[in-house]
Structure 1
């Protein structure tokens, strides 16, 4: 009877160990996939930030071009009073609008939880079976998953920082683009008013 019970317990241990190996493999694979997704996210955010900067530069160039066009148009003297009275009311600025924005620190996670660090020589799990490669694999999978989670924590902080930077920049860019658009409309209306038909 005791031999049967012992065999049943050993069978249950084997089944549970096999399930644990499969579970840690799945966890490790999910962590690896998540890390790759995080890296892709950071890459896309950096490209998006570069695009925002390119847009800001383009809007600034347009503003400079508007100012230059205004100066050239004033030389044309199309209606006789162009230089003195028509263009004096047109206010065009080529400098980008930058304002300091406060960051709502209460909604920003500045620090991720710190992982519990084991001594690299100590096993993460308690080995039940002697000389069982499955338990060694479980331990290795958990160690690798822990390292990846540390990397993901750093990625999350980097993503948060880049999002904060872009979120602060977008309203400034929107304001600058709106001002430039208004300057274009005003310059166009002014040219239509002063151009002989």
Structure 2
């Protein structure tokens, strides 16, 4: 019997190993293409905000009226906004105690003092009025700069509008794509008022 050559042993081993290498490569390729197919929040239209539950989405459209007497005027230092799963959020940053406020549906936004209409388009208009409050400092310089119309371009909130800063009242309007449920939350450290509006 002839002894097998080293090259013959090598080719036999290669024939045995080759199927396992191919199988490993196919498995790895399958894993890669599967992870590539996972949808990102942008592709599905969902927000990346974690932990939102249906109970977080506001449902009430009832007007809100909170009276607070004997306070020094709060100062509006800025207004921020962002979209979340199921709702848009508008945050009013304040210096001082949270003042009284009223949130109501209106037919259009009117400039405080003059009563002139403010030309913004929307399917519904939600007006927030803070009192006592100012959006300027003691020298009359604005503390909430820019505007009076701030394009938000969220899912329901199209524009945020400063409707006034007059006689201890600050008006903030939300031009919405449609009438929807909303809720107001008070937060401290620092003081801020949060207004959530459903999509």
| TM-score normalised by structure 1 residue count | 0.27
Higher helix share: 1
**Greater RCO structure (CA 8 Å; 6+ sep):** 1
